């Protein structure tokens, strides 16, 4: 298990600060969910951690800065699932999951027996064995999302970044995907950082929420403390009612403002 620390993280696009002064420590095995309106900086934090955009400040895994790592070593530590992954139609499921082994294969090398065995066992554990030989183009949205998660698991990184993992899925497949991430995180001791729009689901699965607004953290803590009507109204500009179920689930429901 690995910890992930952000120290005064900043990301700029041109002259605009996408994120500024972000400091947080995600404990080993914790699931932190970033929430906030569009453009609040959620994706920028994930993209900076995956090494896709230059950033100021520091991002540390177990106390050592990620920026000092080679790109391959970084990929051994951090797996990234983008908001809309590219799945080539004519690639097979097994070929796709095998891409997750890329950091472990030398520049001119080919995959080892261990890499292939790893892919086989990931496909089995995620009930994807039937999809190994099938082209991605023939699969449904839920099946494709499970394969993307399988690729990230095959990467064997202790830290998993998920950018809007459920935005393209129906409610059943949303639950299925998040349950899968939750199960894998417990089995593998993964540290998870996700960005999500559905506040109820965010509160349901994450240990802790961080509410971002215009590049700054405005609230952080467990769901019950962050998901309050007055906070959400201030930063999302919405009118919501928040219900607390007996099992501790926090449910956020939009309210009709017209009479």
Partner 1 sequence: MLADPLARTATTARSVAARPGRWWLPASLVLLAVALFLGVMVGPAGNWGSADWNIIWNVRMPRVVLAGIVGATLSLSGASYQGVFRNPLVDPYLLGVAAGAGLGATIVFAVGRASTTTWLIDPLPLAAFVGGLLAVLITYLVGASFGANRNGVTLVLAGVAVTSLATAIQAFVLQRNTEVIREVYSWILGRLTLANWGDVRLVLPYVVLSSTVLLLHRRHLDVLRVGDDEAISLGTQVTRVRLVVVIAATMGTAAVVSVSGLIGFVGIVVPHAIRLLAGASYRRLLPLSLVVGAAFLILADIPGRVLQDPAETPIGVVTAFFGAPFFILVLRTRGRSLG
Residues forming the site for partner 1 (CB under 8 A): 47, 50-52, 71-76, 78-80, 82, 85-92, 94-96, 98-100, 102-103, 105, 108-110, 113, 116-121, 123-124, 129, 132-133, 155
Q: How far is the CB of 182 from partner 1 (least distance, A)?
A: 22
Q: How far is the CB of 257 from partner 1 (least distance, A)?
A: 37
| Residue that has been written with the tokens 């990184």 in this structure | 157
Q: Quick one: 9 or 152, whose CB is closer to partner 1?
A: 152
Q: How far is the CB of 77 from partner 1 (least distance, A)?
A: 10
Q: Quick one: 123 or 195, whose CB is closer to partner 1?
A: 123
Q: How far is the CB of 79 from partner 1 (least distance, A)?
A: 7
Q: How far is the CB of 103 from partner 1 (least distance, A)?
A: 4
Q: Quick one: 130 or 170, whose CB is closer to partner 1?
A: 130
Q: Quick one: 48 or 219, whose CB is closer to partner 1?
A: 48
Q: Quick one: 136 or 209, whose CB is closer to partner 1?
A: 136
């Amino acid at each position: 298990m690995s910890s992930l620390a952000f120290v005064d993280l900043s990301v700029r696009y041109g002259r605009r600060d996408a994120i500024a002064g972000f400091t947080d420590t995600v404990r080993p095995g914790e699931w932190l969910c970033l929430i906030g309106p569009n453009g609040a900086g959620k994706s920028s934090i994930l993209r900076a951690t995956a090494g896709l955009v230059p950033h100021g400040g520091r991002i540390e895994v177990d106390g050592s800065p990620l920026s000092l790592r080679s790109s391959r070593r970084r990929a051994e530590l951090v797996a990234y699932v983008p908001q809309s992954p590219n799945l080539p139609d004519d690639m097979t499921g097994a070929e796709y999951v095998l891409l997750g082994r890329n950091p472990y294969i030398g520049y001119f090398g080919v995959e080892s027996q261990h890499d292939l065995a790893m892919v086989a066992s990931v496909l089995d554990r995620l009930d994807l064995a039937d999809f190994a030989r099938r082209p991605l183009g023939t699969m449904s949205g839920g099946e494709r999302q499970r394969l993307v998660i399988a690729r990230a698991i095959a990467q064997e990184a202790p830290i998993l970044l998920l950018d809007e993992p459920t935005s393209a899925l129906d409610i059943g497949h949303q639950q299925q995907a998040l349950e899968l991430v939750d199960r894998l995180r417990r089995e593998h001791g993964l540290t998870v950082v996700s960005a999500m729009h559905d506040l109820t689901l965010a509160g349901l699965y994450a240990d802790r929420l961080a509410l971002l607004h215009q590049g700054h953290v405005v609230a952080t803590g467990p769901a019950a403390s962050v998901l309050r009507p007055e906070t959400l109204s201030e930063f999302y500009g919405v009118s919501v009612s928040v219900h607390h179920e007996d099992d501790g689930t926090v449910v956020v429901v939009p309210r009709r403002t017209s009479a």
